[in-house]
Structure 1
Amino acid sequence: MYITMEPGSELAWELYAGIDEAGRGPIVGPLIIAGVVISGKCMNKLSTLGVKDSKQLTKAQREKLIDVIYESARYIIIAEIPPHLIDAYNINMLEEDTIAYLVSRIVAVNSHLKLKEISIDAVGSSKQLAQKIREVVPKSVRVVIEEKADRKYVAVSAASIVAKVWRDRRIDALKTIYGNFGSGYPTDPNTRRWIHDMYSLDPYNPPPIIRRTWGTLKTLAPLWYKKKRQTVAGREKTQKTLADFLPKI
C-alpha cells in the first residue's frame, strides 16, 4: 500500500529527502518504510522542535511531532510491506527494492524542484543499495547511505518518526482484531504467550499477521514455521522480483 501527500512548501528552497524504516525485527505485523522531503527552511524548524531518531522519543512525543512533519513536509510517501512478502523475499533485498522505488517516486514528483540530497538509513549492502539508487537519481543529487543516519540527518529523523508512528497505529488496529500480542518482537513475553495461545487454538492456520519464516516459530509454533525458499543471487528461483508488484511510474 502506497500513500502520498503534498501539502506544498516554499518552491525556492533546496529540498532534502530522508528514508527510514520501522518494524524490521518483529515477528508480527508489517514492515513500514517512509520517505519524507523537506525544505532547508523546514529542516531547521523541525530540528529546533525536537525531530530526531524515533527510538529516542516516547510514543506521545512521536505523535505530537508527526503532525508538525505532516504540516511542514513537501512530500511524504509510505510503503507498507505485509508479512507474506517478508516471508517470500530476502529482507535486505526487499528493503532495497522498496527504498529504490520510493526514491524514484520522490525524484519524479519533485523533478521540477531543487532536490539537493537524499539520505538513507543503511540496510543490507550499502554498496548494492547505492547502485540501485544511482539508477534513478540525477547526478546532481547527493546520495548519502549511512548507519544511524536517523541520528544525523533531520530528513531521515522525520522519516523515522513517520514510519514508527505509522507502524504503531497499524499494530494498535491489528490488536483490535487479533488480541493483545504485545510489541510483536520475538523476545517479548507477551508476544510469545500470544503465539502459544493462538497456536493452541489452531495449529494449522496461523494469523496472516505472523511472519512465518522467523525462527522463533520452530519451538513456539512448529506447524506455522515455513522455511524460506532457496534463492539464486538473493532472488527466489521461481518468483518475480518485488519490482513486479510495485506500481509503475
Structure 2
Amino acid sequence: MSTLRRTFGVDEAGRGPILGPMAIAVVALESRQAGALCRAGVVDSKHFGAGPDACELRARLAEQIRSKAIACEVRLVEVEEIDHYTWRGQLNALERRVVTELLRELAVAHGDRIVCDGATLFSPLRALFPWLEARDHGESVHTAVAAASIVAKDARDRAFASIAARYQPEFGPIAGGGYLNAATRRFLDAYQARHGGLPPEARKSWGNKDAANLSLA
C-alpha cells in the first residue's frame, strides 16, 4: 500500500452559462502522478480556450487523468437543481454540498490534502474538513486542481455538445458553449418564438431579467 500523501483537487465548470448543466470534479493524485500529468500538459482548463480543438485537447488530457489518478469523480448538476438553488440565492451552498458528497464518497482521510479552487466559495467546508485548503486560482498552483478543472470542463463540453446536436437540425449550430452571447441569444429567441418558452436545458434562474428578456433588439 502506498504511503505517499494524496492530494484531492476540486474544481467546477459551467457555473456561468445559461444552457446546460454544471460539472464538479474531484481528482486525487500522488506526487509522481502529478508530475507526469504536469509534463503531459495538465494546466488550468481555461488556458486551452474554446472551440473544437480545445475540446479535443481537454478530452485527451481528461482520458490521461482518469487513467493515472488514484481517484477521479465528476458529477453533473442538472438545470433543475441549479435553478432550485439559484432562485434561493444558494448556488454556493449547492456546490459545497456536491463537493462534500464527492469527498465522502472517495473516503478522504485526515492525512490527505484537499485543495479547492475558490477561497470564498469553499472556505466554509473547513467546518467539515478542517485541513482543507480553499484558494483562488488553485488550478494554477496544484496539478490535482488543474486536473479537476480539465475533467470538469470535459464533462461540461460533452454535455453541451449533446444539447447543441439535439437542436442543430431545427435551429442550426449553437456557438459559444452555452454562455449568453449573441449566438445563444439567437437560439433562445428562435426557440421561444417557435415553442412559446425556453428549452428545458435553459436555466430559468440565470440572470433573472436576462432569461426573461432575451431579444437582441
- Unpaired segments ≥5 residues, structure 2: 49-53
Cα contact 1:54–1:161 (8 A) shared by 2: yes
Q: 1:77 aligns with which of 70, 73, 79?
A: 73
Q: Distance in 2 between matches of 1:191 and 1:85?
A: 21
Q: Distance in 2 between matches of 1:116 and 1:201?
A: 53
Aligned residues: 199
Aligned-residue sequence identity (percent) comes to 30
- Unpaired segments ≥5 residues, structure 1: 1-9, 135-141, 222-249
Aligned partner of 1:177 in structure 2 is: 166
Write out per-residue CA displacement over residues 190-220 of structure 1, whole angstroms, 9 at most, x where no aligned residue.
Answer: 100000000001124x321110011311211
Q: Distance in 2 between matches of 1:16 and 1:164?
A: 20
Matched, 1:95 2:89: no
Structure 1 55/125 Cα, relative in aligned 2: closer, same or farther at 3 Å? closer
Q: 1:56 aligns with which of 47, 61, 72?
A: 47
Matched, 1:210 2:210: no
Write the letter of the residue equivalent to 1:207: P
Matched, 1:131 2:122: no
Write out per-residue CA displacement over residues 166-185 of structure 1, whole angstroms, 9 at most, x where no aligned residue.
Answer: 11011111122123332210
Q: 2:191 aligns with which of 180, 193, 198?
A: 198
Structure possessing the higher relative contact order (Cα contacts under 8 Å, 6 or more residues apart): 2
Q: Distance in 1 between matches of 2:128 and 2:111?
A: 18
With normalisation by structure 2, the TM-score equals 0.85
Aligned partner of 1:220 in structure 2 is: 214
With normalisation by structure 1, the TM-score equals 0.74
Cα contact 1:51–1:157 (8 A) shared by 2: yes
SS in 1 for 2:112: strand
Cα contact 1:13–1:41 (8 A) shared by 2: no
Give the 5 Å matches for 1:15-164.
15-57=6-48, 58-89=54-85, 90-106=90-106, 108=107, 115-122=111-118, 124-134=120-130, 142-164=131-153
User: Cα distance, 1:124 vs. partner?
Assistant: 4.7
Q: Distance in 2 between matches of 1:116 and 1:195?
A: 45
User: Cα distance, 1:96 vs. partner?
Assistant: 1.1
Q: Distance in 1 between matches of 2:119 and 2:134?
A: 9
SS in 1 for 2:132: strand
More helix by share: 2
Q: Distance in 2 between matches of 1:217 and 1:161?
A: 28
User: Cα distance, 1:125 vs. partner?
Assistant: 3.9
Q: Distance in 2 between matches of 1:23 and 1:130?
A: 24
Q: Distance in 2 between matches of 1:191 and 1:88?
A: 22
Q: Distance in 2 between matches of 1:63 and 1:153?
A: 20
User: Cα distance, 1:116 vs. partner?
Assistant: 2.7
Cα contact 1:33–1:79 (8 A) shared by 2: yes
Q: Distance in 1 between matches of 2:138 and 2:60?
A: 22
Write the letter of the residue equivalent to 2:84: A
